[in-house]
């Protein structure tokens, strides 16, 4: 009996113990009395948010604001709703459509708890030191329909190229501690007022979109609320703002399609997971396929809400779009493209459209106060001149509005781009020069092409270029064509004249040399101006050279010109002339049409022989200059070259290869005789009989040859080509002292004479103290004489290398 009773007693004890524990657990987890109520109740108690709470009650967000979680709510007060209802012609809150109510409420809710002091912080595993200017809201737009390849498809806007998540909208705010970091309070107010001009929107330094924060940090159990004085609707994207008919022609360029109907700059990408999601979420829509949509190959993803490449960057910036209105697009076409694309702007190629579109885009926020020094996505000043240019002028913009992903300026003009304002523009745009443009892309895309695109638009104020334009017709006549090369499985240049019978010359090398031979780099600024604006000579200088003027092209070869006609080495050899006709002037120079190409070889005389594709040997030019009747003043120096450098069976010169670029200073007969008399140069008799004498004489000769640049006597008081005014350069000679290079200084004196000097040390640095100097002797047969990759000058003295101890 005792055992029977014992079991129920133990059971009763266990039950009592369990009840006691349960009660203790409930008491432990019971909501503390000191805890603030949820956001909904906090606002309800304030008694000035009744209209907002009526809207909340009509959405699914009501339960979230009444329960646990972490949210930040920007709650419009009742006065804000009165103004809103009046502006929208609604009698009561109940008249606001459900879709608009949902947008207002979702857009007012930010995920996570941000007190006022933390609104400018980035929350990423803790408070980050980065600066936030906007926060992700609970609002996003769902799928919509568009036409793609002739079919109506469902589309979802991709947040960014780096994210496939939900395309949440971000709420911008303008707090003085951030917005005034890079601008004064007055400039901040002006910038804000331009984008939010409504009389009720005033910059206070505590603004959220067009609203001001009136009461901050209303703390709740599930977050915090801030009172604002405006009802905020979600801002449209830059893409939607472009639906304005005033900018339809610019949008048409962005929406341009290729011959297959595929858009150039918009990508539609089918996604099965996205399709499955929206089929479940929106069963009444009869959704069959959903495509991600995003913009590519232009600087701004116009429909994407998320800036940058990460969640943290998304809070830190946005895009800027300067959209030219329809009249501005017409002006651009008429000014820059109509000559080459008479069929209309729809016929313009993709790359040219991209250059123009990207010139109107910036992948950061540009406020009016920042305009003067800001650049577009291609690195071009918005005002064309940077800090030297004009300030922002509001009157030039008929629509200035904020977008959810940036700032929109509707302009009556277009932002100029170097692709349409420089000497390279003619090569890029004119179909007559397609092969030349292809050569730049193939061989010089990041080098010489970028050089020719330098102008004041991208910060280069003194660069000036003269470009002779070899047409497709001229290049084809030289044997060039652009074809598919099976061996390399790619397109490339071929030349019908390249073969075993013609020496198998390297096609890319020849094309590159020809391109560079037709370009001249110069300087034009307030101090100096040596731009070649025509090929007629300056009589004050040219009379010393029989009426010729001289320059060095980008490859490094000398040319001479007069009366609008030009010669390079090959043209000179054949007594042929290239006629250069002025064509157009651009921001950074001028371009000329030509009737034939500058040549470095005897292309006409030997069209079907190797001699037509390579220069003659250098010794031939020594013979022509000094061996005949051209200039007997340097005959002795030529004889020393023959005795010391020339081979017995050929014209090859020891120590001088065919690809060397040289300036050769040839002491006159008088100077050579003086060197012999002074013991600085053995006689030719000694050279021919004594190896030591020959070695000394060889060193003497090599010390008069500069390697790497052709210096011409052009009458300027500074050395060209260069990027700045330089009156002296020190270059190595062909003489080596054991293993060390030796140097000569080449300079221009105040009268523009070309002077060459030895100096006190052989470091290759510019010096101002000279041991011995010689002046180039002017005269058509004396100096600026053509050589193979060389220029020959007569000088009035000689040099002897003495090693500095």
Q: Is the dihedral of CA 494, 498, 504, 505 positive or negative?
A: negative
pLDDT tens-digit readout, 696-752: 999 999 999 999 999 999 999 999 988 888 999 999 999 986 668 899 999 999 999
pLDDT tens-digit readout, 331-364: 999 999 999 999 999 999 999 999 999 999 999 9
* Out of 27-36, 114-123, 164-173, 552-561, least confident range: 27-36
Number of neighbours of residue 236 by Cβ within 10 angstroms: 18
* Out of 96-105, 593-602, 795-804, least confident range: 795-804
pLDDT class for 3, splitting at 50, 70, 90? Answer: very low
Kindly tell me if the per-residue pLDDT of 298 is higher than 60. Answer: yes
- Look at residue 2 in the predicted model and tell me its pLDDT: 39
Kindly tell me if the per-residue pLDDT of 22 is higher than 70. Answer: no
467: Cβ–Cβ under 8 A, 6 or more apart, which residues?
423, 426, 427, 452, 518, 519, 520, 589, 590, 591, 592
pLDDT tens-digit readout, 256-268: 999 999 999 999 9
Mean pLDDT score across all residues of the chain? 91
* Greatest pairwise CA separation for the chain in angstroms: 149
Kindly tell me if the per-residue pLDDT of 653 is higher than 50. Answer: yes
Q: In terms of Cα–Cα distance, which of 768, 775, 766 is closest to 713? A: 775
User: Where are the alpha helices (H) located in 645-768, listed in sequence order?
Assistant: 669-677, 684-689, 691-702
Give the integer Cα–Cα distance in Å for 302 and 362: 11
Kindly tell me if the per-residue pLDDT of 649 is higher than 70. Answer: yes
Kindly tell me if the per-residue pLDDT of 60 is higher than 70. Answer: yes
* Out of 296-300, 488-492, 783-787, 799-803, least confident range: 799-803
- Look at residue 8 in the predicted model and tell me its pLDDT: 39
* Better-scored residue on pLDDT, 617 or 199: 617
- Look at residue 29 in the predicted model and tell me its pLDDT: 43
Q: In terms of Cα–Cα distance, which of 788, 804, 550 is closest to 662? A: 788
Give the integer Cα–Cα distance in Å for 171 and 334: 41
pLDDT class for 13, splitting at 50, 70, 90? Answer: very low
Give the integer Cα–Cα distance in Å for 789 and 625: 15
Note the Cα 743 to chain centre separation in Å.
38
Give the integer Cα–Cα distance in Å for 190 and 185: 9
* Better-scored residue on pLDDT, 448 or 200: 448
pLDDT class for 18, splitting at 50, 70, 90? Answer: very low
Instruction: Provide the angle, in degrees to the nearest 10, between the axes of the packed helices 50-57 and 78-88.
Output: 70
- Look at residue 608 in the predicted model and tell me its pLDDT: 86
Cβ atoms of 603 and 514 closer than 8 Å: no
Cβ atoms of 518 and 467 closer than 8 Å: yes
- Look at residue 312 in the predicted model and tell me its pLDDT: 83
Kindly tell me if the per-residue pLDDT of 452 is higher than 80. Answer: yes
Cβ atoms of 544 and 751 closer than 8 Å: no
pLDDT class for 422, splitting at 50, 70, 90? Answer: very high
Sort 786 into a burial class: Cβ within 10 Å, 0-12 / 13-18 / 19+. Answer: buried
DSSP state of 627: I
* Out of 14-18, 468-472, 544-548, least confident range: 14-18
For residue 721, say if its preceding peptide bond is cis, omega within 30 degrees of 0: yes
Cβ atoms of 398 and 412 closer than 8 Å: yes
Pairing of the two strands 578-586 and 589-594: antiparallel
User: Where are the alpha helices (H) located in 290-349, listed in sequence order?
Assistant: 311-314, 326-332
Kindly tell me if the per-residue pLDDT of 764 is higher than 80. Answer: no
Q: What are the C-alpha distances in Å from 422 to residues 274, 419, 449, 648?
A: 46, 6, 11, 52
**pTM given for the model:** 0.90
Structure-block tokens of residue 558: 């000398």
Give the integer Cα–Cα distance in Å for 344 and 353: 13
% the chain with pLDDT above 90: 82
- Look at residue 375 in the predicted model and tell me its pLDDT: 98
Kindly tell me if the per-residue pLDDT of 25 is higher than 50. Answer: no
DSSP state of 625: I
Kindly tell me if the per-residue pLDDT of 545 is higher than 60. Answer: yes
């Amino acid at each position: 009996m005792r055992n029977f009773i014992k079991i129920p007693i133990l059971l009763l004890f266990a039950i009592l113990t369990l009840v006691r524990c349960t009660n203790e657990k409930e008491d432990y987890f019971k909501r503390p009395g000191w805890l603030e109520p949820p956001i909904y109740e906090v606002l309800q108690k304030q008694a000035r948010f009744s209209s907002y709470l009526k809207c909340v009650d009509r959405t699914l967000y009501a339960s979230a604001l009444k329960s646990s979680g972490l949210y930040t709510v920007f709650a419009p007060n009742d006065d804000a709703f009165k103004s809103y209802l009046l502006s929208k012609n609604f009698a009561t809150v109940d008249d606001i459509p459900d879709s608009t109510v949902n947008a207002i409420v979702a857009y007012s809710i930010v995920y996570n708890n941000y007190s006022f002091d933390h609104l400018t912080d980035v929350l990423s595993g803790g408070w980050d030191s980065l600066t936030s200017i906007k926060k992700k809201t609970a609002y996003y737009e769902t799928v919509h329909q568009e036409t793609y390849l002739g079919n109506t498809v469902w589309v979802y806007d991709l947040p960014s190229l780096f994210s496939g998540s939900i395309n949440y909208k971000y709420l911008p705010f303008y707090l003085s501690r951030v917005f005034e970091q890079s601008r004064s309070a007055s400039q901040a107010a002006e910038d804000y007022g331009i984008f939010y001009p409504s009389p009720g929107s005033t910059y206070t330094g505590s603004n959220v979109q067009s609203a001001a924060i009136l009461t901050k940090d209303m703390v709740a159990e599930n977050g915090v609320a801030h009172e604002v004085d405006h009802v905020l609707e979600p801002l449209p994207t830059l893409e939607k703002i472009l639906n304005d008919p005033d900018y339809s022609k610019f949008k048409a360029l962005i929406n341009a399609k290729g011959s297959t109907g595929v858009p150039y700059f918009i990508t539609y990408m089918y996604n099965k997971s996205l399709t499955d999601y929206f089929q479940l979420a929106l069963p009444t829509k009869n959704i069959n396929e959903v495509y991600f949509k995003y913009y590519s190959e232009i600087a701004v993803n116009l429909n994407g809400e998320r800036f940058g490449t990460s969640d943290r960057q998304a809070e830190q910036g946005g895009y800027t779009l300067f959209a030219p209105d329809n009249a501005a697009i017409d002006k651009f076409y008429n000014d820059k493209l109509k000559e080459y694309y008479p069929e209309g702007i729809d016929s313009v190629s993709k790359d040219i459209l991209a250059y123009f579109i990207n010139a109107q885009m910036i992948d950061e926020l540009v406020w009016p106060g920042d305009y003067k020094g800001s650049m577009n996505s291609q690195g071009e000043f918005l005002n064309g001149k940077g800090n030297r240019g004009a300030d922002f002028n509001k009157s030039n913009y008929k629509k200035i509005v904020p977008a959810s992903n940036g700032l929109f300026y509707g302009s009556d003009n277009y932002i100029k781009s170097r692709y349409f304002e420089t000497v390279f523009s003619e090569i890029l745009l004119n179909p007559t020069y397609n092969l030349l443009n292809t050569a730049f892309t193939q061989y010089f895309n990041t080098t010489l092409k970028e050089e020719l695109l330098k102008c004041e638009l991208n910060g280069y104020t003194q660069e000036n270029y003269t470009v002779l334009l070899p047409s497709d017709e001229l290049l084809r006549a030289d044997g060039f064509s652009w074809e598919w090369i099976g061996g390399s499985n790619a397109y490339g240049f071929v030349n019908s004249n390249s073969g075993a019978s013609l020496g198998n010359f390297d096609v890319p090398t020849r094309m590159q040399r020809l391109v560079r031979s037709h370009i001249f780099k110069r300087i034009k600024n307030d101090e100096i101006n040596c731009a070649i604006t025509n090929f007629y000579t300056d009589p004050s200088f040219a009379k010393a050279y029989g009426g010729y003027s001289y320059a060095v092209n980008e490859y490094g070869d000398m040319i001479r010109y007069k009366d609008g006609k030009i010669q390079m080495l090959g043209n000179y050899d054949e007594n042929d002339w290239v006629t250069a006709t002025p064509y157009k002037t651009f921001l950074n120079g001028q371009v000329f049409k030509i009737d034939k190409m500058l040549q470095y070889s005897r292309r006409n005389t030997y069209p079907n022989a190797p001699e037509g594709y390579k220069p003659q040997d250098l010794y031939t030019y020594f013979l022509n200059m000094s061996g005949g009747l051209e200039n007997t003043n340097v005959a002795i120096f030529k004889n020393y070259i023959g005795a010391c450098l020339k081979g017995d069976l050929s014209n090859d010169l020891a120590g001088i290869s065919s690809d060397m670029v040289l300036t050769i200073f040839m002491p006159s007969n008088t100077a050579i005789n003086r060197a012999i008399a002074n013991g600085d140069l053995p006689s030719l008799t000694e050279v021919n009989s004594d190896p030591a004498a020959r070695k000394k004489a060889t060193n003497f000769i090599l010390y008069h040859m500069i390697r790497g640049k052709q210096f011409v006597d052009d009458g300027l008081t500074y050395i060209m080509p260069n990027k700045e005014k330089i009156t002296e350069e020190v270059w190595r000679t062909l003489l080596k002292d054991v293993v060390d290079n030796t140097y000569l200084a080449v300079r221009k004196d105040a009268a523009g004479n070309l002077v060459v000097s030895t100096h006190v040390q052989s470091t290759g640095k510019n010096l101002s103290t000279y041991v011995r100097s010689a002046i180039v002797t002017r005269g058509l047969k004396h100096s600026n004489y053509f050589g193979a990759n060389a220029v020959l000058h007569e000088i009035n003295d000689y040099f002897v290398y003495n090693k500095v101890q």
